[in-house]
Amino acid sequence: QAKAEKEEAQTHAHARSFIIRGIRNPACSAPIAFARVPTPKQIQAVAEAAERCSAAERTTIRALLVIGAARVAAMRLASRDVKGVAAYLASDACQKVVVLTGAGVSCAAGIPDFRSPGGMYDTLRPELITATPQERAAMARDPTAVVLKDMFLQNQFPYHEVRRPFILGTQRQQWKATLFHRFLEVIDAKGKLLRLVTQNIDGLDFQTSIDPAKICACHGSVGRAACEGCGAPIDFDDFCQRVRTSIKDIYGVDADAPAESSEMLCDSCQRPLLKPTTVLFGASLPQSFFEVLENDLPAADLVLVAGTSLVVSPANLIALAAPDSAPRIICDRNDVASGVGIDCSSHAREDVWLQGDADDVAADLATACGWLDDLAAFEDALPEASRATLDRVR
């Protein structure tokens, strides 16, 4: 009896605390809202406790109950973990998925992301690059200078010498789409993929069966080439042959590379501005990206973000500008969300951090969705690291 009375008193105090600690919910126009999303059990407890409150408090609590019930009804995820995300993703309620990917989803293919050990920022050696002392100093201070538009327009060699093995490897199809790429292919096959926005220039998304019209390569692709000055395209195989014979190998892996780099002139304008159709830092993103922001993102039922640090703007707007009604699922080994103001521990909206490498998260989600057989169908086409991840969950 004493225990029951204590629990009843605690519940009554809990009901009163909703009033005392009531806050304005940015997503709700009501003057008072629950400070966190209540469970149905909490709502019932508050309703029962309201009978022991004053008339004024009962009126306020009833208003809170309406708001709380509405917030519960709007929740998409049963839990903020792989199981909860998978249940929603596989459900009929989730039909329009918008995806943002970064370099982390391609690591299993053997392509290190820029910021990880072995990536461009970690291995760049400006002293080996054909450049002036001032340009080398700029690259030493900030390796992204290699891909600045201003740098390329005055000196094309840093870009080409750093990217030489990547360009020629892309021509040879040296790298294969990873487990995460194939997981997106499964989502598409289920009729749920609305748009895929990738910051990656590796072209691995185009190895899948996803309709290229659904893929927005917002930073361009290394698999096509054109003149940065006049825009005239050049056959990619022809471009690669020029790279092979005109650009030196700063990595010391190609004995047939020239000892020094020489200019590659555009056939149309005769300027040395040929390059892959990647978007340089300081250049505008393609119009298709802004169409995604305007037309597709507002319609999203779920926004899936993977393998990106979220520090590059405006690409990060896919996550930052996602509608409140769409859960944001951040898949990364690091807590990248908090760095851009996304608090996955907050109950203000349904944000979830699934910690781990992109392939591991893809395998776990596919398993929880009941889609593992669909994913395993791509086993023979996967890179070795992705096959090892698939074996882990089977």
- Collapsing DSSP states into helix, strand and coil, what is residue 353? strand
Residue 93 tokens read as: 């309620």
CA distance linking residue 266 with residue 140, whole number of Å: 30
Burial degree of 20 (CB within 10 A; 0-12, 13-18, 19+): exposed
Active-site residue identified among 12, 14, 219, 347: 219
Residue 247's nearest CA partner among 156, 333, 122, 352 is 156
Residue 219 is a catalytic residue:
yes
- Collapsing DSSP states into helix, strand and coil, what is residue 355? strand
Q: Edge-to-edge, what's the strand order for the sheet holding 97-101?
A: 215-217, 193-198, 97-101, 302-306, 328-332, 351-355
Residue 329's nearest CA partner among 150, 2, 84 is 84
What dihedral do alpha carbons 340, 363, 180, 100 form, nearest 10°? -30
CA distance linking residue 309 with residue 307, whole number of Å: 7
CA distance linking residue 130 with residue 264, whole number of Å: 14
Phi-psi region of 326 (alpha: psi -120 to 50; beta: other; left: phi over 0): beta
For residue 340, the one-letter residue type is V
Residue 55 tokens read as: 């008339």
Please, what sign has the CA dihedral across residues 295, 319, 180, 275?
positive
Cα within 13 Å of Cα(26), Cβ side: 5
CA distance linking residue 24 with residue 34, whole number of Å: 8
The stretches of the chain forming alpha helices (DSSP H) are 2-20, 40-50, 55-74, 82-90, 120-123, 133-141, 149-154, 157-171, 179-189, 236-246, 287-291, 317-320, 358-369, 372-376, 384-393
Residues annotated as part of the active site = 219
